[in-house]
Amino acid sequence: METAGEQKMMTENPKRTGALLIAAAPVLVAGSVAWVFPSETAAVLGHWALPALSLSALFLALGLAIEWRGLRILLVVLATTLVLGWNRSSATSTSHFAGACLGLLLMLVVGRAVDTQRRMRLAMLTFLSTGMVMLFLGLAGASLQPGTPLVSMLPVKLPGIRLGLSGLAGGDVNPNALAAAVLLVAPLAMSVLILGTREKTDWLGLLPLAFAVAAMGAVIMAISRSRTAWIAVWLILVGLLVRSVRSALSRFIVGAFVAAPLFVVSTNVVFLSQEEFAVEASHFWQTAHDRAEIMTQGLACWRQSPWLGVGLNEFRSMYKPADIDLAHAHNIFLQIALDVGAVGSAAYWGLMTFLFMRAGQAAKGPSGPGRSAAAGSAISLVAVILFGLLDAVPLGSKIGLFQWMTSGLILAAWRTRSVVNCLPGTHGTASAHDVRRRCHGDG
């Protein structure tokens, strides 16, 4: 049964929503360009351009959420703490503030504009296409360890392109960041492949693209050697085995993937020499000790301003020793608390809970694309949270934009969960006009 808030959402003012979407389009495009090319934008338009576009994006996002009571309250609180966090930090935080504002606007634009089967497929194609480009650019610029398999086969690093992953223009891409990008993009591709589709046109576009993204993601996960990402994937597989996988064959396949890493690790330990084992154990201890030290300093900094945080991206300048450029606190819960405090953290995690609830409802609906989008996007959010237990995709980071787009796909899937595939007899007593609009996007 629909709640009062959900019924209100379904009776939104289409003219106001349409006007807001029209206004959001140029702000989203211009803001993204200014965010990706901040120096060039500042040279042409001045340093005020990116903050102005970011604030505009934030107000438009709140406008698009105004008729959804629960989401509106969460976004108002989060937006307020974002502005305060930006105001409390140094000028270098403007990029993170812009990324968060543009991400929220992107989530609401996708959630509002995607209301038909055709638009849902187009949104999924756009997401996978953009993700494919980002993964390729990241792989081309990744700094992989010597001896990593396939290093000699990788393309030459692409010079001076600021796109997709932070650090691509300034040097090497962090392999952990590249693996995090896979965790955000690949689940939707896997969802499309596993849940399938009834439309023949998808065999020419959506399915081949999903296969390509999944294949590239698997290669990147193998060669990046990101243990944090591997642990996140393994925990997701354990969760699927316990809660979601029902058929015997599927349980066997997932169970094999769960058991394989344990078998490989135990086998390697048996065949390691005492010296090699000592080296591996020392490296593991050092990594754990370093991250514990980072989190300890982060917790101490957060206690200085627990309610509103120390400012967006400000922990980076507070970390000691100062000659180490630390991107984040290596824990997503701690990093968000540092950025926007306990108040903003409550709003952010409330938003995640809101999205998971809507994804669960949409995944049970009759819409094929909606089920795939909801399931894949929900797993993306779970994956990035699990990755954040020992690492982080901070608010406003470049790859974090994909997190907000998956959130928008969840909202869109929930809003269109009652829209089924264009098959005879699936629309009940719907009028011909409604059928055309739902199936083909005709207004």
Q: What is the pLDDT tens value at each position of the chain, 443 positions in all?
A: 445 444 444 446 788 899 999 999 999 999 999 998 988 898 989 989 999 999 999 999 999 997 778 899 999 999 999 999 998 887 668 999 999 999 999 999 999 999 888 899 999 999 999 999 888 877 776 654 444 444 444 444 433 333 334 433 334 667 888 899 999 999 999 999 988 766 667 777 889 999 999 999 998 898 888 889 999 999 999 998 888 777 787 888 888 988 988 888 888 878 888 888 888 889 889 989 999 999 999 999 999 999 999 999 999 989 988 888 888 999 999 999 999 999 999 999 999 999 999 999 998 877 778 899 999 999 999 999 999 999 999 999 989 999 999 999 999 999 888 655 444 444 444 444 444 444 444 33
183 found inside a domain: no
The answer to the question of residue 83 being in a domain is: yes
Q: What is the pTM of this model?
A: 0.87
Q: Are 53 and 31 in contact, with CB atoms under 8 Å apart?
A: yes
Omega within 30 of 0 (cis) for the link into 26: no
227 lies in some domain: no
Evaluate whether residue 250 is within a structural domain: no
The region, left, alpha or beta by phi > 0 then psi within -120 to 50, assigned to residue 46 is: left
d(CA 337, CA 325): 20
Please work out, in degrees rounded to the nearest 5, the angle formed at the alpha carbon of residue 333 by the alpha carbons of 327 and 336.
60
The tokens of 293 are what?
């030290």
DSSP H helices, 151-273, are: 175-195, 206-224, 227-239, 248-271
Number of folded domains that form the chain:
1
| Within-domain flag for 318 | yes
- Report the 10 Å Cβ neighbour count for 212: 15
> Distance between CA 268 and CA 323 in Å, rounded?
37
Q: Is residue 68 part of a domain?
A: yes
Selection from 224, 218, 233 nearest residue 149 by Cα: 224
Which residue is associated with the tokens 């101490």?
300
Three-state SS at 37: coil
Phi then psi for residue 157, to 5 deg, are -60, 135
Q: List all residues 6 or more positions away from 135 whose beta carbon is below 8 Å from its beta carbon.
A: 178, 181, 182, 185, 213, 216, 217, 220
Residue 280: domain span: 4-125+272-368+388-440
Residue 343 lies in a domain: yes
| Distance linking the first and last C-alpha atoms of the chain | 28
- Report if residue 264 sits inside a domain: no
Among candidates 192, 34, 177, which has minimal Cα distance to 98? Answer: 34
